[in-house]
Structure 1
Amino acid sequence: MENESTYDIEERYSDDDAISDLFSNGIRDTDDFSFRTTDTDDSEANEFDYEDQHFDDRKIMFETSKLAINDVMTLVMAFSIRFKISDVGRSELINMIKLFAGPRVNDINISKYRFQQKFDPPNETSMIHYYCMSCKQQILYYINLKERFRKQKKTCAICNAQCEITTKSKNYFMSVDLKYQLKMMFDSVEIKKEIFDFINKMDNRNNDEIAIRDIYDSELYKKINSDTNMKYITYNLSTDGAPLTKSGKRGFWPLQIILNCLPPKSRFKYSLICGMLTCTEEPNSDLANLYFNNFKEQAALLYNEGISETDLNEQKIIIKFYPLAIPVDSVCRPIVQNRIKFNGYFGCSWCYHRGEYIKDVSGIRYGLLEIDPEIRSHASHLKDIKIINSKNLNLDKIISERGVKGDITSITKLPHIDMVWSFSYDYMDGLLAGVEQQILKKWTDSKSTSNFKLTNQEIKVINQRLLSIQPTQDIHRQPRSLKEKANWKSAEIKSWCLIYSLPCLQGILDDTALKHYSLLVKSLYVLLKNNITKEELDQCESDLLEFVGKYEIYYGIENMTFNIHTLLHVVDSVKKNGPLWSNSTFPFESNIFQLKQLLNGPNGMDKQMIRKHLQRLHFKTDTVDYSSDEIRNYCSNLYKYKTLSTHYDFGEDDVIFIGKKNVSKKSMKHIVKCTRNVYSEEKFYIV
């Protein structure tokens, strides 16, 4: 589509509809691509080495279409990656195509080895790093994926542990060359044009307007790019965990980035992978520090040296990059910051509210204070690290200083990272899965003691209203009953909050509670806009303060959870990092699901995901070596999102109708204007 709303874009590229399916989907096949990291040769891949080396892939396979073997391989590979076909399935697809081609190609062997040679990324793009299992602070050995592995015995330089590294060792993570992926992006003519056009648009806009429209209006971005003649391209960095299989304990934590130099409608299409950690339990800060360290080295090179490219005028330029924001959820954030978790004293990520232990709920709660707590800053965070380091010199046990447990050098030494405000507020985790679900429970759960608890009959009426709604196709899921609210995906909670909730609750929920709740809905809508004025920010700050204050009055101190408290910092996060949609974890969670879908077997799952991610990126960026435009167009279309066929322009007063093409001009007098938050400011109408 030419024009899309913020809501549309997040729904399309960031929808977490299938994220929970990570917990329920099993592995379909048992075959796997075998990397040469075993003690024995990969006989399947090397069986036809000699024959393949003397094989001419330019030989015509189909006379009528003039498709050569090389073309067929490209088409099959694009198809296989797009539709998640296993290596065995791909081999059978080739056999079927050979039947179509006739008996003269029966002797042609398009082996697995040939596909590896043609489509696998270079050996040095992915590395395996083995670490000490005892202290998790030292890299013991590293090797690229194609090197022949030999059993190793290593001694950790930090804890002196004796470690044996074998092919079955699980104490490793993988790193992926970010520069290789960035070059792929800039080698794409279409993507490069989008990048430079968008950068020029941002540079030439009216900066006198006091409004926040994107990351480019954020304080952290302006702090870097307004003080120097060198313009940097920024990116957001994120990681989160998900299970690898339905019943297994092992999970994976991909390290992902998204470039901010693309227009919003294209930005979330391309997630790049910097690393992959697999483990059976949540990593601690020591392991996170080790895991991020390789990325820190890559980030330093991209910041100091950059990459050599050509602009749209074919002039050579150096493009440099730096990380801007690290949107992660409330579980991952304290790990990466090396702080106390949200359920402990001083657990807030953005202020020094100590919290109060409430005996009735056996937990820490964050009530409003007469004097506002001190706001955290990068300088105060480093000061806390210095204090904790001096205290730990004389103590064996780990203590904390105002919630800070110590340094995590792989993050603090990233270029221009603010250890407080670079960790932007994540509304998917904090507001949707947190606050919204919490308040719904207060209204609908049978065990709720809230004064605003709804009766079964009232819930039934709300469900009738909710289920009668027929959303447009830009909302990907039909409404589900409140009885299933525990299973709602974040995208469904978002639809409920922004679109369905107020009409469904009107006249049923107590007016006091509804008016109070509307403060949250209004604030979320405004902070998701693509043009937020200073006056709107001030109003949101006031509304959210009122919401939090009255929440304590209406629902009690025992319900003043971390998620409720952090609403007080949302506006500051928007000022520092840009609108909520620009720093959401939606696209990262969506890509976690996409990575999981690349799996075809139980062995070497992390290696499968990385290899197929890089192969898929080649096709998505259109940087594959095609022999004809026809083949390029077919492969490119496989990876493009289909536009809505019923979305068309009536052609009068720029009215855009959605639905069947049978609107008569007589209907024009009955149209109702609908305001939509859209990038083009286009207007939609309902007849």
Structure 2
Amino acid sequence: MESRLREKRKLLNKLNQRFKRLNKGENIQISEDTVASTTSQASGSGGQAEAYSPEHMPVSYHCSDTDSTTSESSYEDEPSYLENPHENNPYLENLDQNNQPENQPILSNQTEQNNESLSSFLGNWALKHNINHSALSDLLTNLRKFHPDLPKDSRTLLKTPRQTGSQIKIVQPGFYYHFGLEQCLKNLLVEFSKENILETNVLEICVNVDGLPLSKSSGNQVWPIMVNFVRNKDFIQICGVYQGNEKPKSSNEFMSDFVREAIELINNGFLFNNTTYSVKIHAFICDVPAKSFLKCVKGHSGYMSCTKCDIEGNYIGNRTCFPKTEGFNLRSDLSFRTKEQESHHIDTTILENIPGLNMVKSFPLDYMHLVCLGVMKKLLNNLWLSGKPPYRLSSQQIKSISDQYLAFKKQIPQEILRKPRSLLEVKRWKATEFRSFLFYLGPVVLKENIPEKVYENFCCLHVTITLLSKCCNLGYAQQLLKHFVETFSLLYGKENISHNVHNLLHLVDDVQTFGSIENFSAFPFENHMMYIKKLVRKGDKPLQQIINRISERANIRDSGANSTKSYPILRKEHSRGPLMDNNSLCVKQFEIIFFNNFFLSLNEGDNCCVLKDKSLVLIKNIIVSDKYTKIIGHTFSNLESFYRSYCESSKLDIFLVNAVNTRLHCWDVNQIAYKCVKLSFRNKFVVFPLIHTLKSA
């Protein structure tokens, strides 16, 4: 009995010393009664203790949403300090026989920082790889054996909201949750330093609204309201989300929270980090169905559905078409608000209440839906593959085009994520694939495989969209678009002048307002839609899941997100050469060099670029010394135009090139203007500028 009392007092002294350190010197005494209530009967030298909850540790709480099928109704954060105080407890094993620590305390400030750093890492890792709560909780349970300060449950680590149901409102026939426009703008300002994205305190934003089906087996869908900064389009925030089995019945009810907050912010601005910001809605970037839904006007199948002019459509061949290329009046903000063409309107939209919003010019024609998924898909799928003679391609033509198209796989730059696939799969092509076909691959694979008049009509579209991407020669581009629509009508019939084909006539007007077609493209928003879909992990309560996942990402911010990278960045050191005679010593060689918005490497597909002096270079090596970073390579000779339809392709920086010069040259990386796409053609190469890299020139 006496030995048990001595053992208990000895353990009591050790625990008091440890808790004194944990509480920064506060002498929290643990009585024998406390020990008796928190320890089991000691047997020998290894008494087993139950979990103890010190007052300074967080208490348990309930969470309304989890993806774990065996979730607990509550969970706790406190570490089990006393699971085995003599054998497995790291807080006690460094005590000597005199009950004094041999080294510094385990729970020093540095250790606390390390634990915080580990928690931050685990949170960011789980969000980056979309780890579900059940798997993350299992990981935390095992890690707590070595890091007892880690929380037990993933919901604590990710700061998952406890309750969201009270903030969800009914929007017929589904539900809506509003994150808040002001909070979205603050999140963007926090994530990215002001000097990198803003030159003034005026926050110009673009807004996107679109529908996203969550399942192929049901009508379950979400309609997010997304925003981004005009000057930094790739970073998106979700302002609100609707979820239901149908789209919202009323766009005014759906958009009411957004409009109310937008009016307040535009009129009064908001204060953040001691800076007052004003807000301006630059544009609503939507496809035609979403645009007509928001503006409460006729859809694309209506006779008077064009949002840019008052043209009246015709019904030919069981479809609505718009064959006229002139003789119509352009709409204006005033004519829209006064409902000058009454049959164009279905109702009055709440968006008219937003200050400074032009109901015509602020709704540009998005070329992702208009050109890529609209006109290009119509040409490839509806006309050339599935259309009627004489414009339908033969099986031999289709095979020849597909074979040549697939042969380009290794020559496609890594920036183009989707590699070529057969024309037989064109129904499943994504917008980026149609874009690659229009800008780069189509002019090469179609040149000798389709009738000349059809090819020239395609080239007319290719040249025009290339001009609009560079925002140059807009007057000539307008003439080309009119010519394209007229020749399109002659080749394929008036009945095929659809809503999309007609709207090509108005594309130049939007370029004059917003600049390059890339400036008002829905591509960044479309990429984010796939991110939203991944937030839903199971069929039950999809809206609550989206709310919780977005809230987790707002609470757990990547510490590296604000770090500014210094370019160029070099990767994959090697020693294979080639080297120039004058730099063979004291240099390092690398395979890859990263710039702000593209990279170059020694691999085929990523080794071609244009310099500021217009030299076309094939890169063979990348070298670095203490004084410089340079590329070594060959220049191409005999540059000539690849086509001459509508303009010399060389004026668009598109060349047909022969062999490279055998002599090696060396250039500083600061001389690189942009990256190129290099495709084989008749034992030569056709070289195109990689469109998005032209900005770096």
Instruction: Sort the TM-score into its range (normalised by shorter chain).
Output: 0.5 to 0.7
Q: Which has the higher helix share?
A: 1
1:584 to 521, 527, 530: 521
* Structure 1 CA distance for aligned equivalents of residues 72 and 353 of structure 2: 45
2:446 to 498, 505, 510: 505
1:417 to 332, 357, 360: 357
**How far did 1:340 drift?**
1.0
Which residue in 2 is equivalent to 1:472? 413
Cα separation, partners in 2 of 1:69 and 1:279, compared to 1, 3 Å: same
Cα separation, partners in 2 of 1:34 and 1:324, compared to 1, 3 Å: farther
Q: Which has the larger radius of gyration?
A: 2
Residue 279 in structure 1 maps to residue 235 in structure 2: no
Are the counterparts in 1 of residues 270 and 276 from structure 2 also a CA contact under 8 Å? yes
Are the counterparts in 2 of residues 442 and 449 from structure 1 also a CA contact under 8 Å? no
* Structure 1 CA distance for aligned equivalents of residues 406 and 417 of structure 2: 15
The correspondence of residues 591-606 of structure 1 with structure 2, limited to 5 A, is 591-606=528-543
**1:304-351 residue CA offsets vs partner (Å, 9 max, x unmatched):** 2222245xxxxx431111211111111111111101111011011111
SS in structure 2 at match of 1:402: helix
**1:167-221 residue CA offsets vs partner (Å, 9 max, x unmatched):** xxxx321101222232233234x5222023xx26xxxxxxxxxxxxxxxxxxxxx
**How far did 1:120 drift?**
4.2
Which residue in 2 is equivalent to 1:363? 319
2:336 to 357, 381, 385: 381
Which residue in 2 is equivalent to 1:526? 467
Cα separation, partners in 2 of 1:485 and 1:61, compared to 1, 3 Å: farther
Question: Percentage identity across aligned positions?
Answer: 22
Q: What is the CA RMSD across the aligned residues, in angstroms?
A: 4.0
Which residue in 2 is equivalent to 1:225? none
Which residue in 1 is equivalent to 2:393? 454
Cα separation, partners in 2 of 1:60 and 1:576, compared to 1, 3 Å: farther
Cα separation, partners in 2 of 1:34 and 1:461, compared to 1, 3 Å: farther
Which residue in 2 is equivalent to 1:78? 124
1:289 to 248, 252, 268: 252
Which residue in 1 is equivalent to 2:170? 130
**How far did 1:617 drift?**
4.6
2:197 to 188, 195, 198: 195
* Structure 2 CA distance for aligned equivalents of residues 449 and 110 of structure 1: 65
Residue 346 in structure 1 maps to residue 304 in structure 2: yes
Which residue in 2 is equivalent to 1:92? 138
SS in structure 2 at match of 1:172: strand
Cα separation, partners in 2 of 1:120 and 1:641, compared to 1, 3 Å: farther
* Structure 1 CA distance for aligned equivalents of residues 334 and 264 of structure 2: 25
Which residue in 2 is equivalent to 1:540? 477
Matched to 2:360, the amino acid is V
* Structure 1 CA distance for aligned equivalents of residues 610 and 211 of structure 2: 48
* Structure 1 CA distance for aligned equivalents of residues 150 and 513 of structure 2: 60
Matched to 2:381, the amino acid is K
**How far did 1:99 drift?**
4.1
* Structure 2 CA distance for aligned equivalents of residues 444 and 381 of structure 1: 38
* Structure 1 CA distance for aligned equivalents of residues 466 and 598 of structure 2: 27
**How far did 1:422 drift?**
1.1
Cα separation, partners in 2 of 1:460 and 1:681, compared to 1, 3 Å: same
Which residue in 1 is equivalent to 2:188? 185
1:562 to 491, 499, 520: 499
* Structure 1 CA distance for aligned equivalents of residues 366 and 480 of structure 2: 19
* Structure 2 CA distance for aligned equivalents of residues 541 and 415 of structure 1: 31
Cα separation, partners in 2 of 1:619 and 1:60, compared to 1, 3 Å: farther
Which residue in 2 is equivalent to 1:110? 152
The correspondence of residues 10-159 of structure 1 with structure 2, limited to 5 A, is 36=64, 44=72, 46-48=74-76, 68-101=114-147, 105=148, 110-112=152-154, 114-115=156-157, 119-120=159-160, 127-131=167-171
Which residue in 1 is equivalent to 2:279? 321
1:335 to 293, 306, 327: 293
SS in structure 1 at match of 2:275: strand
**Structure 2 unmatched ranges of 5 or more:** 1-60, 81-90, 92-104, 564-595, 624-629, 640-649, 655-669, 679-684, 686-697
* Structure 2 CA distance for aligned equivalents of residues 617 and 489 of structure 1: 30
Which residue in 1 is equivalent to 2:379? 439
**How far did 1:620 drift?**
5.7
Are the counterparts in 2 of residues 366 and 565 from structure 1 also a CA contact under 8 Å? yes
Which residue in 2 is equivalent to 1:16? none
Are the counterparts in 2 of residues 181 and 272 from structure 1 also a CA contact under 8 Å? yes
**How far did 1:653 drift?**
7.9
**How far did 1:559 drift?**
1.1
Cα separation, partners in 2 of 1:453 and 1:651, compared to 1, 3 Å: closer
Matched to 1:237, the amino acid is V
* Structure 2 CA distance for aligned equivalents of residues 34 and 561 of structure 1: 55
Which residue in 2 is equivalent to 1:487? 428
**How far did 1:452 drift?**
3.2
Matched to 2:144, the amino acid is K
**1:602-631 residue CA offsets vs partner (Å, 9 max, x unmatched):** 3332222233224335556649999xxxxx
TM-score, scaled relative to structure 1:
0.68
**1:415-473 residue CA offsets vs partner (Å, 9 max, x unmatched):** 21111221110111111111111112365325x33433322222222122211112111
The correspondence of residues 189-338 of structure 1 with structure 2, limited to 5 A, is 190-196=192-198, 199=199, 232-262=202-232, 267-268=233-234, 270-284=235-249, 286=250, 288-309=251-272, 316-338=274-296
SS in structure 1 at match of 2:208: strand
Cα separation, partners in 2 of 1:71 and 1:643, compared to 1, 3 Å: farther
Are the counterparts in 2 of residues 240 and 328 from structure 1 also a CA contact under 8 Å? yes
* Structure 2 CA distance for aligned equivalents of residues 373 and 332 of structure 1: 24
Are the counterparts in 2 of residues 350 and 375 from structure 1 also a CA contact under 8 Å? yes
* Structure 2 CA distance for aligned equivalents of residues 558 and 569 of structure 1: 20
Paired positions, count:
522
Which residue in 2 is equivalent to 1:573? 510
Higher RCO (C-alpha 8 Å, min separation 6): 1
**How far did 1:485 drift?**
1.0
**How far did 1:95 drift?**
2.1
* Structure 2 CA distance for aligned equivalents of residues 339 and 572 of structure 1: 21
Cα separation, partners in 2 of 1:413 and 1:125, compared to 1, 3 Å: farther
Bigger mean CA offset, 91-100 vs 589-598: 91-100
* Structure 2 CA distance for aligned equivalents of residues 551 and 250 of structure 1: 38
Matched to 2:76, the amino acid is F
**How far did 1:109 drift?**
5.0
SS in structure 2 at match of 1:668: strand
* Structure 1 CA distance for aligned equivalents of residues 77 and 310 of structure 2: 63
* Structure 2 CA distance for aligned equivalents of residues 582 and 498 of structure 1: 17
TM-score, scaled relative to structure 2:
0.67
**How far did 1:303 drift?**
1.2
Cα separation, partners in 2 of 1:485 and 1:50, compared to 1, 3 Å: closer
Cα separation, partners in 2 of 1:60 and 1:325, compared to 1, 3 Å: farther
Matched to 2:324, the amino acid is L
Are the counterparts in 1 of residues 123 and 556 from structure 2 also a CA contact under 8 Å? no
* Structure 2 CA distance for aligned equivalents of residues 657 and 110 of structure 1: 56
Are the counterparts in 1 of residues 384 and 391 from structure 2 also a CA contact under 8 Å? no
Are the counterparts in 2 of residues 325 and 577 from structure 1 also a CA contact under 8 Å? no
Matched to 2:139, the amino acid is L
SS in structure 1 at match of 2:548: helix
**How far did 1:96 drift?**
2.9
* Structure 2 CA distance for aligned equivalents of residues 438 and 652 of structure 1: 37
* Structure 1 CA distance for aligned equivalents of residues 110 and 135 of structure 2: 26
* Structure 2 CA distance for aligned equivalents of residues 650 and 334 of structure 1: 42
Which residue in 2 is equivalent to 1:428? 368
Cα separation, partners in 2 of 1:108 and 1:344, compared to 1, 3 Å: closer
